[in-house]
Amino acid sequence: GTVPEHTPKEEFRDLVASLPRREQSILELRLYQGFWLPEHWVPGTIVFQRRFAPRPDDVILASYPKCGTTWLKALAFATAARTAYPPASAGHPLRRLNPHDCVPFIDDIFATGEDAKLDALPSPRLMNTHLPYALLPAPVVTGCRVAYVCRDPKDMVVSLWHFLRRAKPDLSFADTFESVCDGTVAAGPVWDHVLSYWRASVACPDRALFLWYEDLLHDPAGNVRRLAEFMGCPFSAAEDVAAVVDLCSFDEMKALEVNRPGSGTAGRYRVMPRDAFFRKGVAGDWANHMTPEMAARLDEIFREKIRGTGLAF
């Protein structure tokens, strides 16, 4: 007879079923190697860990969800591809594609058995993940460059709540807030996620870059220069960084036809509309959603967790 084809989901069904389980609003979480991953991420993560064939010039973009993934993908893509696609050109891919359709999620590609898509990407490859550094395969850690974007956890919680509400309109802010505080949140605990990349960036600054969403807002050109240098394609003094910054600016991207409400879904996100990735794009929106007491509590949790690491929020 014929050998049945197994998808990663089928292949690792028993393993996944054996992992501790929790619920977070619309998500089923499984505790995998110290992190609460959405259940549907686990098979792709395992395949990524076992079968990913890194190339020395790979650049992996990493983030905790809602911390600037979409922006980092756009900036890195526009930067890396700027010779082939001048950022000011009307036909730039980012003017007709959502950033999630320009840079693939590695573990999602493995989850759906589309490994060949990664092999087909031209070098240097640009890919992304929401996995913590601790879960990245050893050859990535020793052989690839990883750029991470971090954000004030208070704004991340607000952004996460608005995002999840697109799928579950009656989700309470308090629920989302509590799940972040106690660590049982997708890809959490958040502090361990952030610390995993922070420590890597301190230990190996050539291979792990640590960026802040707030710094990108404050000085986009300076941070894009850092990113370009890190990726191995530095901007010359004469080159126009502003064109990349403008192309990827919140207002530009939000206004694009491709990102308007009703335009469909993006990349791995099979249910989330593309406009859900462009909400407000500012720092400090937390003040409109939580009491000073809640803010102080979240700040204190993070302060406690990162004490002595050199990281400061």
Residues of this chain that interact with ligand A3P (CB under 6 A) are 63, 65-71, 74, 155, 159, 162, 248-250, 253, 277-281, 285
Task: Give the separation between CA 136 and CA 153, rounded to whole angstroms.
Answer: 22
Question: Residue 173 Cβ, how far from ligand A3P at the closest point, in Å?
Answer: 13
Describe the crossing of helices 173-182 and 292-306 by its angle, rounded to 10 degrees.
20
Question: Residue 133 Cβ, how far from ligand A3P at the closest point, in Å?
Answer: 17
Task: Give the separation between CA 129 and CA 113, rounded to whole angstroms.
Answer: 16
Is residue 278 within 8 Å of 248, Cβ to Cβ? no
Task: Give the separation between CA 185 and CA 128, rounded to whole angstroms.
Answer: 20
Pairing type for strands 126-129 and 59-63 reads parallel
Task: Give the separation between CA 245 and CA 223, rounded to whole angstroms.
Answer: 10
Question: Residue 105 Cβ, how far from ligand A3P at the closest point, in Å?
Answer: 12
Catalytic residue set: 130
Task: Give the separation between CA 247 and CA 225, rounded to whole angstroms.
Answer: 15
What phi, psi does 286 have (nearest 5°)? -55, -30
Cβ neighbourhood burial of 28 (10 Å; 0-12, 13-18, 19+): middle
